[in-house]
Structure 1
Amino acid sequence: MIDKIAWLHLRDGRILSTRSRGKSVFYLPGGKREPGETDTETLIREIREELTVEIDPASIEPAGVFDAQADGHATGLLVRMTCYTAEFSGTLKAGSEIDEVVWLGYADRDRVSAVDKIIFDHLRETGLLR
Structure 2
Amino acid sequence: MTIDKIAWIHLDDGRILSTRSRGKNVYYLPGGKREPGETDVDTLVREVDEELAVTINPATAEHLGTFEAQAHGHADGVLVRMTCYTAHHEGTPVPSNEIEEIGWLTYRDRDRVSPVDQIIFDHLHRAGQLN
Structure-1 separation of matches of 2:93 and 2:79: 30
Deviation sequence 1:36-93 (CA, Å, 0-9, x none): 1110100000000000000001100000000000011111111000000000001210
Find runs of 4+ consecutive structure 1 residues off by over 6 angstroms.
none
TM-score when normalising by structure 2: 0.98
TM value normalised by structure 1 = 0.99
| Offset, 1:96 | 1.6
Equivalent positions of 1:44-55 (< 5 A) are: 44-55=45-56
Q: In the aligned structure 2, how far is the partner of 1:70 from the partner of 1:100?
A: 21
| Residue in structure 1 matched with residue 34 of structure 2 by the alignment | 33
Match of 1:86 in 2: 87
State the number of aligned residues: 130
Identity of aligned pairs, percent? 68
Name structure 2 gaps, 5 residues minimum.
none
- Please give the alpha-carbon distance, in whole angstroms, between the structure 1 residues aligned to 2:97 and 2:42: 20
- Alignment correspondent of 2:68: 67
Tell me the secondary structure at the aligned position of residue 104 of structure 2: strand
The residue identity in structure 2 corresponding to 1:43 is: L
Structure 2 residue matching 1:128: 3-state secondary structure: coil
